[in-house]
Structure 1
Amino acid sequence: MITVLSELGKQVAGRWVALLVLPGACYVITVTVAVLLGQRHALDPGVLTAWLDTVAVAPASGRFGTVLIAAAAFTAASAATGLAASAAAQLVERVWWASGEEPVLRALAASRRGRWERAEADVSAALEAFTASGGTPQTARALRAAIVRRDAICPEPASRPTWIGDRLYCVDERVHTTYHLDLTAAWPRLWLLVPDAARAELADARAGISASARLTGWGLMYLPLAALWWPAAVLGLGVLITARHRARLSVGVQADLVEATVDLYGRDLVVQLGIDCTGRLGREAGEAATTLLRKDRTDQSRFTG
């Protein structure tokens, strides 16, 4: 047991250092550079060299106690900024998953809905042109391009303020449309049925989303430093662009995995609930499972439309 606890402690410590201390150390160093250089000497390494020389020859720099206190303060500051970035990541995820009821987010959701509707109109026009021309290669390419542009916004009608929220919500809509199954109610039970390999894939995808949110949090923290040192804006924007790319990849993978999990194991869930389901999972069995899983007296009519 002591060996297990020791190994667990090493893993936790290593994860703590990787997630909080090292990125926090980079941030603290960037803050120091921003304060020392400022806007006037933003790209002048001579200022940093002069400061380091001053610190090196200072009498206190040769004292072990001073060095120890400085190292402890640096580590504490790095950990504190890491915790701040984690808090920012939680806020980022809340915005990603938001339904769009708040005034600002409602405007973003309306904007995305309008973009999707215009893209859908382009698809309809391209389809009409394809049909009228008898399916020429040119109209076929135009139709495919229109579909790609529409699906880049959302595979289903957009209703959320962010691409990430729409991409995950459309999985729920597709599952409901196909099986009449409430994914929110079914997922905890479905999670208990899937094999360990499937859980590991889903957990990795979810971890990728969390990592992208933390990276976004760091990017947002770098941007205010541009008021002191303009290169921080370039650094922050680069981090945010990378985080956006990683988040979309991770969310796309998770959405596909969740939908695949329902397709492969949804029938097993229905059977485990004691509902008769011969052959593939159908809407009648999915509706019965939804009624059983929700365990409330709310109107179930939305699951029969």
Structure 2
Amino acid sequence: MLDKFWESLGEDLAKRWVEHLFGPAGLFWLGGALLALIQGLAQPWVDSFLNLSTWLQGAVALFAIAGVVGSAQVVRLFVFPLLRLLEGYWWSPLSKPFIHLQAQRWEKRRERAWALKKKQLNGESLSLQEKQELTDLETWVHQYPVQRDDLLPTPLGNLLRARERAPRTRYGLDAVVCWARLWGLLPPDLREDLLSARAALNRRVEAFAWGLLFLLWGWVSWLAIPVGLVWMGFAYYQACLAAAPYGDLIETAFDLYRFRLYDALGWARPADSASEKAHGEALSEFLWRGTLKEPIRYPGKPGQE
């Protein structure tokens, strides 16, 4: 038993070391070392390392690997607050001008999309170029909130906010309030997909953090600044790509399994789509504040009316 335990532990540690050494953390330290070598700042350290005995060289190498792994773990502690910053949860005076810019694009593209859609609904034929434009605009609009007041200053924030607000718009359910309760009612496969999608998003945010930190090597060489900026831009683009399936899965969870929430809480399901939004708003209000407009009658035991 113990042999298998240590074997599995060793395999897990080896996997983590490889992941960090060849991931953003390893690239950060390797890039800094290369810049120091180019500038001639690291040559005394290299000479000292080569003059060490084989055992000491091995010890220094292990210490360096441990440092890379340890720094990666420290950066992971800041992934969530960094994600919030990338979404655009900033100080209000700072975010307002960026939200205004987003709102201008939002209004312009929604108006153009509606104009093309209206033309199509009226029976007028769209050109091939207009059909492609309508598809692109509808895709873009889908990644932004329906309400102007829900806009955030960044594309990543708007993408996640749109999916977060969708259950409230359709069903009256506040995703922030209801998510923790719904999570326990989801099938295992969907939960695994959600965890995998969120992990992918977190990895992109972590990569952005290392790109931001790479700017610190600017004191070694000015080349670190353009490299860091390109790194950050690519990581942000990848984060937006990863956020799309994650947000879609959250929306899917409400689309397919929201009635499980009503059943688990003993609330009657909405009778039809027309009354569902009001039911969802009442349920969200109860879960958040514990308030009810009128008492809820819970169903009796199985077999009882």
TM bucket (normalised to shorter chain) is 0.7 to 0.9
Name whichever of 283-292 and 142-151 sits farther off: 142-151
Change (3 A) 1:79 1:113: same
Q: Deviations over 1:196-253 (max 9, x none)?
A: 0010000011001110111111111223324533443454344324322321222100
Q: Deviation at 1:176? A: 1.0
What TM-score does the superposition give when structure 2 sets the normalisation length? 0.77
Match of 1:302 in 2: none
Aligned-partner residue type, residue 141 of structure 1: K
- Structure 1 stretches lacking a partner, 5+ long: 39-46, 300-305
Change (3 A) 1:84 1:274: closer
| SS class of match (1:255) | helix
Match of 1:122 in 2: 112
2:145, 2:165 within 8 Å by CA — same for their partners in 1? no
Distance across 2 between alignment mates of 1:294 and 1:275: 16
Q: Given the alignment, which residue of 250, 254, 263 partners 1:271?
A: 263
Q: Given the alignment, which residue of 141, 164, 171 partners 1:172?
A: 164
Q: Deviation at 1:283? A: 2.2
Distance across 1 between alignment mates of 2:4 and 2:261: 35
Name whichever of 137-146 and 255-264 sits farther off: 137-146
Does residue 184 (structure 1) correspond to residue 173 (structure 2)? The answer is no
Change (3 A) 1:153 1:114: farther
Name whichever of 253-262 and 91-100 sits farther off: 91-100
Match of 1:30 in 2: 31
| SS class of match (2:51) | helix
Aligned-partner residue type, residue 137 of structure 1: L
What TM-score does the superposition give when structure 1 sets the normalisation length? 0.77
Distance across 2 between alignment mates of 1:2 and 1:214: 35
| SS class of match (1:103) | helix
Match of 2:65 in 1: 75
Does residue 103 (structure 1) correspond to residue 104 (structure 2)? The answer is no
Aligned-partner residue type, residue 272 of structure 1: A
Does residue 92 (structure 1) correspond to residue 82 (structure 2)? The answer is yes
Match of 1:240 in 2: 232
| SS class of match (2:162) | helix
Matches within 5 A, 1:153-302: 154=144, 156-157=146-147, 159-277=151-269, 282-297=276-291
Instruction: Name the count of aligned residue pairs.
Output: 287
Distance across 1 between alignment mates of 2:158 and 2:278: 27
| SS class of match (1:197) | helix
Distance across 2 between alignment mates of 1:153 and 1:249: 11
Change (3 A) 1:143 1:298: farther
Distance across 2 between alignment mates of 1:59 and 1:88: 33
Match of 1:41 in 2: none
Change (3 A) 1:121 1:283: closer
Name whichever of 155-164 and 184-193 sits farther off: 155-164
Matches within 5 A, 1:141-160: 141=131, 144=134, 147-148=137-138, 150-151=140-141, 154=144, 156-157=146-147, 159-160=151-152
Match of 1:112 in 2: 102
Distance across 1 between alignment mates of 2:141 and 2:206: 27
CA RMSD of aligned residues (A): 3.6
Distance across 2 between alignment mates of 1:120 and 1:283: 24
Q: Deviations over 1:55-80 (max 9, x none)?
A: 3xx69625245424432442344235
